[in-house]
Structure 1
Amino acid sequence: MDLDEIAAAGDQKAKADQYRAVLEQAVASGDAAACRRFVDHVLSDAVPLVLSRQLLLAFAQSLPQLAPDVQRDVSTYALDKVHPRAVSYEEQVSAIREQLAAVYEAQEEWSKAAQALAGIDLDSGMRLLDAEYKLGKNIKIAMLYLEDNDAVSAETYIKKASSLLAACKNEALELQYKTCYARILDSKRRFLEAATRYYELSQVGKRRIGEHEVSGEDLEQALLSSIKCAILAAAGPQRSRMLATLYKDERCAKLALYPFLEKVYLERILGTAEVEAFAEGLATHQLAKLPDGSTVLERSVTEHNLEAASKLYNNIYVAELGALLGVAPDKAEAVASRMVMESRLQAIIDQVDGLITFKAAPEPLQQWDRNIAAVCQAVNAIVDDAAAKGIRLS
């Protein structure tokens, strides 16, 4: 029957059955034009809202039967047509967007898939959505953006997910969240934080979480990622602590990367050949160019070698330091001055003589004693001041 003839019929149940028959015929034919006509009619004033919602949901559920290109076409068309009245069709819009995202994902158009899901209103007051559903969608969107190396967009949605974690006790989603967050930190070159997150993931243990089986390969990959990020992190005490944790982990001794980790941990100067071998296993963003023209790895190796040199020499001329690090003298001085200012290197730079004098970092216990002495002196000063003002402290 013609769609207008069905609309003119009086029996609502018969109308619904006839509309579904037309929908099945349009989907079976794979005709995009027929599907678009059905959407136009269903959203017209000729169809009551209650019936319109049922038919549009049936349309969304029928989409997987269409060819991918046709499905993309009619899904996009339906979303454009329903947009002015989206508040009245939130469930239907969500179903269409999920099917459209699945098509984009299958075709590896990651950002388009993420944008399709991001169009779902998760904060609507019209529908009651549980925390688990919202958490799952935000994590999924973030992971899709990460596939296109869009860490900025991914971070937006992982932050939304973080606020939902407390209300959700789904262990599988929590694991996905931790994995996604570690990858975002890695992509944004916050390597020290990423190394910590990856190391936590490597300690999950082989077991089934939800539908996912955590394998030994997954744990090894997380451990390798932790090592790479720790090595790429800015030289300093925090990096040294992370390297110590990894070096003392028995699992690391079995990895091919262990000799390089050992040399970094023991603060030995790294050679060009071994650095190049290490670079072969790094991701694109870990080899990205920095504003000064060097790569992330080159900066990390230069800072590491400078810190290693501080253990070998009491002092060294800037020109000799540049030759040791394989960089120009002015760059060696710039790296050293930055590390000194950030309290990552104990040294004095004499620019007149072009000499860098390294100072030994204070022993932890000696620093602890000095801190306690400073607190005691501050308390005594307060007591003396109070006594001078006639205030008795019990």
Structure 2
Amino acid sequence: MSRISSRLTVIQKQGLSEKIQSYKSLVSNIMDKPNAPELIETFKFIISTEASNVASAIVDTYINQMGVLNQDLQTTVGEEILTAIGKVSTSAFNTALFKLREYMMNIYNTQPGKESRIFDLLNANADIAQSGDLESQLRLYANLSLLYLQSQKVKDLKSYSPEDLKANDTFNKAVDLFQKAGMTFLQLQDQDNQTRQTTSKRKKDVKHELCDAIISELYGNFQQAADKYYEVSTVIISPVEADGYLKKAITSAILAQPSERRSRLISNLYKDERSGDEKKIDKKLAKVLEKIFLQQLVVEKEDNATLEQALDKRIVPHLKKAILKHNIVAISVLYDTISISQLGQLLSETSDETERTVAELISDGIIDGSISQLDDMILFKNQNAILSEWDANIAALCNGLNSTYEILLRDGIVSKEQVKARIQKDDNVNKKESVKEKQKEKEKENPNSRELIGSTSNLGISDAQKKGSKEGHSEKEKSNQDSKSSLPAQTQSQTKIQTKTQGKPDEKK
């Protein structure tokens, strides 16, 4: 019998409180001078022979202290403890078990290639859904799923085709765990609604969101992937990881199907200060993002080379189609009509592929237009959303006014004669205003015309004063005034001066 075995036998015969304290002291002494075989032997004995509440307390103490061991010892001892607990299958170990699982998850995250081992240990020994609280279950599901998604087996996929993904067991396990995490999250939301413990909407864990982004990207749902990658980039602590996920958000957004949702995300990414920082995002990639945001054509070889370099090689096949769709949408804003052959030539694409892509965009409601195969023409309708909305609002207002008018006539509140009279009155006012505006414009164009108006006005007053005594002379003055109105501006100005001079004796008289 070994030294440890004899000590364990002695401790087993002690009273409950003394026994727990003796086991804790023994574990602490072994950890001071780390010895993996002795620790493993101790925990196997305690878990298999002692009451579950005693064993759970000892395991919990070890978990709180295991950070003093090196990582290899932590891994070896932790795996043995998990295996031993799996053979017991009792709910008394729930708290300790979940603590150890999460601790082991952090260890395995730094040790590539351990995915299968950790899954066997954590999932085969005890069903996660049958033990622990929902919060712990959610974290474990998300951590396990992310571990699988970042594993070498998923990285070694030849392509992201549905066939290859379906045949990859590691990826399927990740998706299964992610779906369980989603169901657990919904349970937590229902729990919040029932207990009303929080007024704010529950948010998913960052690892849960990251799993969503990776799975969406592998399935080709680039819009969802872009949204999630961008969200993760704003909350993750590590600056290097945040910049990497921002880059993934940009490339996924470029690959996404044109839509209002994509446009909003592209706008947010373009306006994000980090996108303009060359230390964070490559300058060439930022330039392509700007073109996408401004709805400019992306046809240069350098732009496509930049995107291919930024993308995973297994996603590159999606790039050509995505750029073709973007360019067609950009052209639909600039052109009312264009021939299919001309559009294909402009985009360096065959006429058949161009026509097929345009038809797909029209069918999906992304662009508004039609194709005339007889004339080999594409007809685009107005794509300006702001102007379309404005026109729709004006039409709605006019329809509302017409409806109101009909109601007023029907109820006898107004008559057609009253309406016509009011319209005529408004027309007269508008005409007068229009004449005044034109007159002001003429005065601005020819400042001397104001002096002419002033001089003729003075002449008119003088004529009125003389009209009573010298009517014939008034007619002569009127004739002179008419002749002056036809003179050039300079001559009129001279005439004004002479008139003022001649008018002074009359004023004195």
TM over 0.5: yes
Distance 1:91 1:203 in 2: 32
Matched, 1:53 2:56: yes
Question: Displacement of 1:98 after TM fit?
Answer: 2.4
Distance 1:157 1:109 in 2: 23
Deviations 1:342-388 (A, max 9, x none): 0112222234554433333472222445678899999xxxxxxxxxx
Residue identity in the other structure for 2:309: E
Residue 99 of structure 2 corresponds to 95
Which one has the bigger helix percentage? 2
Q: CA RMSD in A?
A: 4.6
- Please tell me whether the aligned partners of residues 181 and 208 of structure 2 are also in contact (alpha carbons under 8 angstroms): no
Residue 315 of structure 2 corresponds to 288
Residues 65 and 229 of structure 1: is their aligned pair in 2 closer, same or farther, counting only changes over 3 Å? same
Question: Displacement of 1:85 after TM fit?
Answer: 1.6
Aligned-pair identity (%)? 20
Residues 288 and 8 of structure 1: is their aligned pair in 2 closer, same or farther, counting only changes over 3 Å? closer
Q: Look at both structures and tell me which one has the larger radius of gyration over its CA atoms.
A: 2
Higher relative contact order (CA 8 A, sep 6+): 1
Residue 278 of structure 1 corresponds to 307
Residues 368 and 134 of structure 1: is their aligned pair in 2 closer, same or farther, counting only changes over 3 Å? farther
* SS, match of residue 371 in structure 2: strand
- Please tell me whether the aligned partners of residues 141 and 180 of structure 2 are also in contact (alpha carbons under 8 angstroms): no
Distance 2:373 2:318 in 1: 27
Residue 157 of structure 1 corresponds to 181
Matches within 5 A, 1:1-394: 2-3=5-6, 5-6=9-10, 9-24=13-28, 27=31, 28-32=33-37, 34-44=38-48, 46-83=49-86, 84-109=88-113, 111=115, 115=119, 129=133, 140=143, 144=147, 147-148=150-151, 152=175, 153-154=177-178, 156-157=180-181, 160-161=184-185, 164=188, 176=206, 180=210, 183-184=213-214, 189-193=220-224, 195=226, 226-244=249-267, 256=283, 257-270=285-298, 271-282=300-311, 288=315, 295-351=317-373, 354-361=376-383, 363-368=388-393
Residues 87 and 220 of structure 1: is their aligned pair in 2 closer, same or farther, counting only changes over 3 Å? closer
Question: Displacement of 1:190 after TM fit?
Answer: 4.0
Distance 1:202 1:103 in 2: 24
Residues 123 and 376 of structure 1: is their aligned pair in 2 closer, same or farther, counting only changes over 3 Å? farther
Residue identity in the other structure for 2:253: A
What are the ranges of 5 or more consecutive residues in structure 1 without an aligned counterpart? 290-294, 379-394
* SS, match of residue 234 in structure 1: coil
Question: Displacement of 1:288 after TM fit?
Answer: 1.1
* SS, match of residue 43 in structure 1: helix
Residue identity in the other structure for 2:85: V
Residues 79 and 139 of structure 1: is their aligned pair in 2 closer, same or farther, counting only changes over 3 Å? closer
Distance 1:202 1:372 in 2: 44
* SS, match of residue 235 in structure 1: coil
Question: Displacement of 1:157 after TM fit?
Answer: 2.5
Deviations 1:214-263 (A, max 9, x none): 97x88877765554443332124443454455556777666634533332
How high is the TM-score relative to the length of structure 1? 0.68
Distance 2:391 2:357 in 1: 28
Question: Displacement of 1:274 after TM fit?
Answer: 1.6
Distance 2:243 2:68 in 1: 40
Residues 277 and 219 of structure 1: is their aligned pair in 2 closer, same or farther, counting only changes over 3 Å? same
* SS, match of residue 89 in structure 2: helix
- Please tell me whether the aligned partners of residues 149 and 211 of structure 2 are also in contact (alpha carbons under 8 angstroms): no
* SS, match of residue 378 in structure 2: strand
Residue identity in the other structure for 2:45: H
What are the ranges of 5 or more consecutive residues in structure 2 without an aligned counterpart? 155-170, 404-509
Distance 2:208 2:98 in 1: 26
Residues 225 and 162 of structure 1: is their aligned pair in 2 closer, same or farther, counting only changes over 3 Å? farther
Question: Displacement of 1:77 after TM fit?
Answer: 2.9
Residue identity in the other structure for 1:323: Q
Aligned residue pair count: 358
Deviations 1:182-234 (A, max 9, x none): 84556655444555566677888xxxx9xx5x97x888777655544433321
Residues 194 and 364 of structure 1: is their aligned pair in 2 closer, same or farther, counting only changes over 3 Å? farther
| Deviation larger for 77-86 or 341-350 | 77-86
Residue 467 of structure 2 corresponds to none
How high is the TM-score relative to the length of structure 2? 0.55
